[in-house]
Structure 1
Amino acid sequence: MSKQRSRLVVLAGPTAVGKGTVAAAVRQDHPDVWISVSATTRPPRPGEENGVHYWFVSDAEFDKMIAEDNLLEWAVVHHSARYGTPRQPVELALASGRPAMLEIDLQGARQVRRTMPDALFVFLKPPSWEELVRRLVGRGTESAEERERRLVTAREELAAESEFDVTIVNHEVHAAAGELVALLKHSPTDL
């Protein structure tokens, strides 16, 4: 019996909505789900590990990945660092039949929609704008200028919700992760 190729689930949403936290909960509680690790040119935040949270690469390394078509998608995010999804690990995970997920920004999700239209696109939404602002300020990882830039981007990202197949409201991390896992573990024909 041959393995059936799995369907890719793409999780996106505005900055500080908790995409990384929800993905970490999925990773911890459902190790059978494969979650892509993005490459980025930004420096690590406190506690982030290379190869676990992101692949932290130089601008030159990122340029090489683009030139060699080794990225499924990539974008400049918040007018500063570049982020991208290495192509080969995604293709290998899908071919293996494992539930597979990308946790990426809106620009990346739009690129993946063009190249992989059969993927399921999930929008992670905050319970309210005020809660999103509270989460961004509360994490304390950005300067005031960077927070303002991210909030401008977040308004644009929230306006794109209708581009997605499914919306999950992130009231509570484990509940949102549970909804996401339920989507990941359905076969493409179930949805």
Structure 2
Amino acid sequence: MVLFVYVDNSNVWIEGQRLSAVRKGDAVSTADAMHRKITDMTWGYDFGKLYELACPPSAQVGRSILFGSRPPANDSLWDRARNEGFEVEVFDRNAANKEKEVDVSLATTMMEDSYEHMRAARGDMAVLIAGDRDYVPTVNSLKKRNLKVRVVFWEHAVARALQETATEFIGLDPAFEYITRPGGMTGPTS
């Protein structure tokens, strides 16, 4: 079995900030944090530890890609990701500073890889580190071709339909402390 890993950085980062705000007592729940738009802007995650949770050390990995918005010029986020072995796909934000193209690019790349590189006969698996319901059609398409899909995301934020559609699900909430980068880390702004 070969794993192919696709990470929506903004999703992971923003929901981690939300959970961190709750753990610090700034909000009573993640729903409260979302409603009141409360996040812990100092929180960041360790790419290597996230990767370890998503892909056991013994696993063979065919590709790992981190998708996200273009950071400020002085942001070292993407260099850190590259140092952890990720390919990096960055996109410019629109005039209203909203993230665009990330989800569609991730889903398109996942589908392209499924036809060009993944093999159901050897048990290959796509590992999607994201939580949006928008990924359900892509996951269903892969499963129709007998490819496995592991979804790894925050339990408080994953779309139920995505979690139920995946072959397997790994929740990040219990691993919060493990993947939290000491001292925080910069990331995209929402």
Q: Place the TM-score, normalised by the shorter chain, in its bin.
A: 0.3 to 0.5
The TM-score, its normalising length taken from structure 1, stands at 0.41
Determine which structure has greater relative contact order: mean sequence separation of CA pairs < 8 Å that are 6+ residues apart, divided by chain length.
1
The TM-score, its normalising length taken from structure 2, stands at 0.41
